[in-house]
Amino acid sequence: MFQIKELSMKIKRFFSNIYKKILNIIFLKIYGNITYTKQKIQNIKINKINSIDNINVKKFNYKYLEINNGRIFTNFVECVGIISNKFLIKEFSFQQINGKLQKEKNQILRTGTPKIKKKFSGNMLSLTQGASGHSNYSHWLLDILPKIKIASEKIDLKEIDFFYFTKLNSFQKQTLKLLKLDYKKFIDANVNRHVQASKILAVSHPNFFHGTIVDAHSNLPEWIVFYLRKTFLKKIDYKKKNYRSIYIDRSDSKEKHCKLINNDEISKYLKKKNFKVLQLSKLNFIDQIRLFNNCKQVIAPHGAGLTNLIFCKKNTRVLEIFPKNHNQTRVYKKISKINNLNYTSIKCDKTIFSKKGDMLLDVKLIQKYLNTNDSNI
């Protein structure tokens, strides 16, 4: 029975691949091949951005792009291409391969643009970058929202006719509402994978300069933290209840990594120590900001929710929990340094993966941390 099912799956994959290849050939005939060129491309304009909110950002070499009758293509998962005529604009296009953001190996160069093109009359700002900007809380705050800020240095956001996003979830919509962007102007990249507009607008990635996306966030520019604090802290309702110490319960995460097998044990112990146990998925964006801004102590497994450290006050104590062999980003340590937080990390044993998680944390390590001001555990 198993062999028949496996054979059936192989046959389905075979015909699926054949179907995709046929589609690619058809769309290549319609829209043509996409290539790079070192020659000057007509119909495009690139301007440098040297300051953001009066902060000098010359060293990041940010740029703002305008293309008359340009195109955007994305597969929604790993790549986005900014196109002028039949040329890929390498500097503003991204391909994610095994965790690395690539500029030289964009799949569009191989497959072309195998989706029906939809035309829009007006200008359109590209705010999609494949998987990393799709629904992840950290990438949204650290990659996508800063792109909007960079663009605003060159164009009044009210003058933008369309904003090209990946499919938006509730917290993303809330942040955009707080930025006073008109949802009627939002174009869903999942529905419209291939678009053309009278003018395509794009900006440089705010923190990816080399290496992997992990490297990018570990070298997070300070201005991004300052911008997010300035923009959103003023939206807090301080009349709501807050907690001095919070523990982030990651058991509700859709991700399989960085979850405590003995989360119940850790939660129970921390409750006795007057910690409020929180699942961030049950909180809206502003409530998350408020709780982090008003607490004095945060304990949490590594995860996107710790991006909220951006909103903490100076000297807040932070304990981040990692699996022993996790190839972790140091972004939360970086944010803590920028915000002058008292940051500490624990590496706990990584076990054979179970439904509950991949980390087993000795509660004695938490006890030791709470009983000392020493940052080295």
> For residue 101, what pLDDT is reported?
61
Sign, CA dihedral 333-337-338-342, equals positive
Q: How far apart are CA 367 and CA 86, in angstroms?
A: 61
pLDDT digits (tens, 9 = 90+) for 218-249: 889 999 999 999 999 999 988 888 999 999 99
Q: Can you count the helices (H) and strands (E) in the chain?
A: 11, 19
pLDDT digits (tens, 9 = 90+) for 158-212: 999 999 998 898 999 999 999 999 999 999 999 999 999 999 999 999 988 776 7
> For residue 134, what pLDDT is reported?
66
> For residue 184, what pLDDT is reported?
96
Q: How far apart are CA 146 and CA 336, in angstroms?
A: 19
The CA-atom distances, in angstroms, between 359 and each of 37, 54, 266, 278, 327 are 48, 44, 12, 19, 14
> For residue 19, what pLDDT is reported?
82
Q: Residues 141, 228: contact at Cβ < 8 Å?
A: yes
Closest CA to 278 of 243, 234, 325, 322: 243
Which two tokens mark 136?
Answer: 């992840």
Q: Residues 267, 249: contact at Cβ < 8 Å?
A: yes
Which two tokens mark 257?
Answer: 């990594």
Q: Which residues of the chain have pLDDT under 50?
A: 374-377
User: Which runs of consecutive H residues, i.e. helices, occur in the chain?
Assistant: 2-31, 108-111, 137-139, 145-152, 170-178, 213-218, 222-232, 263-272, 285-294, 331-338, 363-370
> For residue 377, what pLDDT is reported?
40
pTM: predicted TM-score of the whole model, two decimal places: 0.90
Q: How far apart are CA 315 and CA 336, in angstroms?
A: 9
Pairing of strands 162-165, 342-350: unpaired
Domains in the chain with CATH codes: 27-229 (no CATH), 236-370 (3.40.50)
